[in-house]
Amino acid sequence: MSLVAHLSRRYHFAASHRLHVDALTPERNRDIYGKCNNPFGHGHNYVVQVTLAGAVDAVTGMVTNLGDLDSFAQREMLDLFDHANLNTLKCFLDLVPTTENLCVELWRIFAQYPHAKLERIRVEETGNNAFDYFGDGAPVRHEE
């Protein structure tokens, strides 16, 4: 019988973005996005929490090797997003770089991690705003 455990690991990066839809008028963009529509953009110190699940290895006692996970996160996420303007990245060229969309993009990235099953991506944008994504088609979960 194998034990299954969940592992959550946090990563940090700084990035800027501007929330704007070219098809909308400047007034409508300001109405929707407020100060986040600043033509010069604005930045955040994002905190990303990745939650993985997997069998606890009988020899190592781990769900996954943290070194493997950290290397993957560095190569696939941090090298791309840290100190970037999100609007200029290929994944956001035709997509508003909201934190909701960032969660989905990070899910796409970490779903490729081969050593454990991705369960959740959580992105903290500010002390007041955090966003969770549980994968395409996952039921909405309400915390009590």
Residue 91 bears catalytic tag: no
Convert 87-116 to b/e letters by CB count within 10 Å (16 or more is b). bebebbeeebbbbebbbbbbbbbbeebeeb
Residue 103 bears catalytic tag: no
Catalytic option among 36, 76, 91, 119? 36
Residue 83 bears catalytic tag: yes
Catalytic option among 6, 12, 42, 83? 83
φ/ψ of residue 103, rounded to 5: -60, -45
Q: How many whole angstroms separate alpha carbon 130 and alpha carbon 122?
A: 7
**Any bridge partners for residue 11, and if so which?**
48
19 burial via Cβ count (<10 Å: 0-12, 13-18, 19+): buried
Q: How many whole angstroms separate alpha carbon 81 and alpha carbon 73?
A: 11
Q: How many whole angstroms separate alpha carbon 93 and alpha carbon 90?
A: 5
Residues annotated as catalytic (active site), given as ranges? 36, 83, 125
